[in-house]
Amino acid sequence: MPDTISPALCLDGTDNSGKPRQAFADKIAALDDREFQAEAAHRIWLSAFANNNPRSDFHWQADACYADAARRGKPELYMAAWQAVSGQRE
């Protein structure tokens, strides 16, 4: 029986350049697990880098990666991405 995955995230609004946030949700939903983990790590790092700008798109994008990992039923993908960029290991 194939894995069942919830529908892609629904993100309202636009990013800081006026593009629909949903485009990012659709992009990460289409990635395989390996690609998703790499993208999540990238967005987590960018969010941390932009910690002086609370309006940065990278914050909601990192949050979307967290939500998408949960949607996939694989929260460990986000945790592994976070650990990779934070230098922390279990």
**Domain coordinates in residue numbering, the chain:** 27-86
Please list the pLDDT of the chain residue by residue as tens digits (90 residues): 345 667 789 999 999 999 999 999 999 999 999 999 999 999 999 999 999 999 999 999 999 999 999 999 999 999 999 999 998 765
Question: HSE-up of 59 (CA within 13 Å, CB side)?
Answer: 8
Q: How many CA atoms lie within 13 A of 47 on its CB side?
A: 20
Q: Provide Rg for the chain, Cα atoms.
A: 13
Question: Beta partners for 8?
Answer: none
Joined together, the tokens standing for residue 4 give 């069942």
Task: Tell me what pLDDT residue 2 has.
Answer: 46
Write phi, then psi, for 34 (nearest 5 degrees).
-65, -45
